Amino acid sequence: MTAFPTVFSSKLVHHQLVANYSHLFWVQGSQPDLVPYLLLAHLDVVPASESDGWDAPPFSAKEIDGFIYGRGTIDDKGALMGILQALEYLLMKGYAPRRGFYIALGHDEEARGGKGAVNIARLLKERGVQLSFILDEGLAIVDGVISGLQGPAALIGISEKGWATVKLSATMAPGHSSMPPRETSIGILAAAINRLEENPMPRLFGYGPERQIFEHLAHKFRLPLNFIMSNLWLFSPLLARVLERKPDTNAFVRTTTAVTMFNGGIKENIIPAYAEAFVNLRIHSAQTLQEVLDLIHSTVADQRVKIELIHGFDPLPVSSADERAFGFQIVKKTVLEMFPTVTVAPGVCIGNTDSRHFSDLTRNIYRFAPIWFKPGDPQRFHGINERISKKNYEELVEFYFSLIQNCDIKNVPEAHSSGHEL
Ligand SMILES: CCCCCCCC/C=C\CCCCCCCC(=O)NCC(=O)O
Ligand SMILES: [Zn+2]
Ligand SMILES: [Zn+2]
Catalytic residue among 44, 75, 386, 398: 44
Is the bond preceding residue 76 a cis peptide, omega within 30 degrees? Answer: yes
- Has residue 284 been placed in a domain? yes
Higher pLDDT, 416 or 258: 258
Last residue of a domain, one of 261, 286, 313: 313
- Has residue 217 been placed in a domain? yes
The fraction of the chain above a pLDDT of 90, given in percent, is 92
Same structural domain, 237 and 287: yes
136 catalytic, yes or no? no
| pLDDT of 158 strictly over 80 | yes
Last residue of a domain, one of 285, 313, 341: 313
Q: What is d(CA 388, CA 377) in angstroms, rounded to the nearest whole number?
A: 10
Which residues hold their Cβ within 5 A of ligand 2, which is an ion? 75-76, 137
> Is the shortest distance between the CB of 138 and ligand 1 below 6 Å?
yes
Same structural domain, 86 and 204: no
> Is the shortest distance between the CB of 113 and ligand 1 below 6 Å?
no
pLDDT on residue 414: 75
Average pLDDT over residues 49-56: 97
Same structural domain, 135 and 261: no
Last residue of a domain, one of 294, 313, 332: 313
Beta-carbon neighbour count of residue 270 at 10 Å? 12
| Spatial contact of 192 and 257, defined as CB atoms under 8 Å apart | no
Q: What is d(CA 386, CA 75) in angstroms, rounded to the nearest whole number?
A: 9
- The Å distance, Cα 45 to ligand 3 centre, comes to 7
> Is the shortest distance between the CB of 108 and ligand 1 below 6 Å?
no
Ligand of minimum distance to the alpha carbon of 105: 2
Catalytic residue among 109, 160, 386, 395: 109
- Has residue 243 been placed in a domain? yes
Planar angle of CA 235, 141, 334, nearest 5 degrees: 115
For residue range 208-256, what is the model confidence (pLDDT) as tens digits? 998 888 888 999 998 888 999 999 999 999 999 999 999 989 999 999 9
Q: Give the domain CATH number at 83.
A: 3.40.630.10
Same structural domain, 180 and 271: yes
- Has residue 344 been placed in a domain? no
Average pLDDT over residues 184-194: 98
> Is the shortest distance between the CB of 228 and ligand 1 below 6 Å?
no
Same structural domain, 180 and 267: yes
CA-closest candidate to residue 393, choices 1, 2, 26, 72: 72
Q: What are phi and psi of 292, to 5 degrees?
A: -65, -45
Split into its structural domains, the chain has a count of 2
Q: Categorize the per-residue pLDDT at 384 as very low, low, confident or very high, splitting at 50, 70 and 90.
A: very high
Ligand 1: residue whose CA is nearest its atom 1:
249
| pLDDT of 418 strictly over 70 | no
Ligand of minimum distance to the alpha carbon of 107: 2
Q: What is d(CA 31, CA 408) in angstroms, rounded to the nearest whole number?
A: 9
- The Å distance, Cα 75 to ligand 3 centre, comes to 5
| pLDDT of 415 strictly over 80 | no
Same structural domain, 361 and 307: no
Same structural domain, 50 and 83: yes
pLDDT on residue 146: 86
> Is the shortest distance between the CB of 248 and ligand 1 below 6 Å?
yes
Average pLDDT over residues 371-377: 96
| Spatial contact of 357 and 134, defined as CB atoms under 8 Å apart | no
CA-closest candidate to residue 273, choices 175, 158, 188, 358: 175
Query: Strand (E) positions, 268-417?
Result: 270-271, 274-283, 305-313, 343-349, 365-373, 387-389
- Has residue 35 been placed in a domain? yes
| Spatial contact of 367 and 157, defined as CB atoms under 8 Å apart | yes
Domain span at residue 55 reads 5-139+350-407
Same structural domain, 30 and 83: yes
Same structural domain, 253 and 378: no
Q: Give the domain CATH number at 253.
A: 3.30.70.360
pLDDT on residue 111: 97
For residue range 68-112, what is the model confidence (pLDDT) as tens digits? 999 999 999 999 999 999 999 999 999 999 999 999 999 999 999
pLDDT on residue 422: 33
| Spatial contact of 357 and 163, defined as CB atoms under 8 Å apart | no
- Has residue 413 been placed in a domain? no
- Has residue 286 been placed in a domain? yes
- In this structure, the strands spanning 305-313 and 256-264 are unpaired
Same structural domain, 264 and 178: yes
- The Å distance, Cα 25 to ligand 1 centre, comes to 26
149 DSSP 8-state letter: B
Q: What is d(CA 225, CA 256) in angstroms, rounded to the nearest whole number?
A: 25
Which residue among 107, 137, 278 is best mutated to probe the pocket of ligand 1, counting the most ligand atoms within 8 A of its Cβ? 137
Same structural domain, 308 and 355: no
Q: What is d(CA 319, CA 362) in angstroms, rounded to the nearest whole number?
A: 9
Of 143-152, 284-293, 356-365, least confident by mean pLDDT is 143-152
pLDDT on residue 2: 85
| pLDDT of 61 strictly over 50 | yes
- Has residue 371 been placed in a domain? yes
| pLDDT of 421 strictly over 50 | no
44 catalytic, yes or no? yes
pLDDT on residue 147: 84
| Spatial contact of 160 and 392, defined as CB atoms under 8 Å apart | no
In one-letter notation, the amino acid at residue 306 is K
| Spatial contact of 218 and 197, defined as CB atoms under 8 Å apart | no
| pLDDT of 134 strictly over 90 | yes
| pLDDT of 270 strictly over 80 | yes
Average pLDDT over residues 22-40: 98
Same structural domain, 184 and 259: yes
Q: What is d(CA 192, CA 120) in angstroms, rounded to the nearest whole number?
A: 40
Tell me the average pLDDT of the chain. Answer: 95
| pLDDT of 420 strictly over 70 | no
